[in-house]
């Protein structure tokens, strides 16, 4: 009788362990899921869907301002294919040297209720001058 009770205990412990590991895996996957969108796609989604998103677009020629008394920048990100679609982005942190008007950028963050995008990261696409030239 003692042996059966021990096997049940091990089975219950194993099932609890398996359930805990499964929960951790599922919660980590859902926490790290991020939408990758262009600006026009982001503007069509409700703001609650943009709690974690990565946006791709081009920095609009006008409206770039450096944040006062801290590192960062506020700018308009326009859709690469439709320049009429744009979204204000506010980023606090070190700004890449290649960031300028007309640069293609990727920002990662969330949409706040004021309809501006709060970015936690800002990456610029490397300009073509850094790509290897085709020597024929």
What confidence score (pLDDT) does residue 4 get?
64
Homologous superfamily of 34-126? Nucleic acid-binding proteins (2.40.50.140)
**What is the reported pTM?**
0.66
| Full pLDDT tens readout for the chain, 136 residues | 455 677 888 899 999 998 888 888 777 665 556 667 888 888 887 777 677 888 899 999 887 888 888 889 999 999 988 888 888 999 999 999 889 999 999 999 888 777 688 999 999 987 555 555 555 4
SS3 label, residue 90: strand
Q: How many other C-beta atoms can be found within 10 angstroms of the C-beta atom of residue 66?
A: 11
What confidence score (pLDDT) does residue 1 get?
47
107 and 55 in contact (C-beta within 8 Å)? yes
Contact residues for 105 (Cβ-Cβ < 8 A; gap 6+): 56, 57, 58, 59, 77, 99, 122, 123, 124, 125
SS3 label, residue 99: coil
């Amino acid at each position: 009788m003692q042996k059966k009770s021990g096997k049940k205990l091990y089975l219950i412990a194993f099932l609890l362990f398996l359930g805990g590991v499964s929960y951790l895996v599922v919660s980590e996957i859902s926490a790290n899921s991020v939408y990758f969108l262009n600006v026009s796609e982001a503007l069509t989604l409700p703001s609650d869907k943009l709690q974690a998103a990565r946006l791709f677009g081009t920095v609009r020629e006008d409206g770039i301002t450096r944040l006062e008394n801290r590192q960062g920048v506020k700018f308009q990100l326009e859709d690469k294919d439709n320049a009429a679609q744009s979204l204000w982005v506010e980023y606090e942190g070190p700004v890449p040297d290649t960031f300028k008007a007309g640069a293609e950028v990727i920002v990662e963050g969330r949409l706040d209720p004021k309809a501006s995008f709060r970015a936690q990261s800002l990456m610029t696409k490397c300009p073509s001058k850094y790509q290897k030239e085709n020597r024929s």
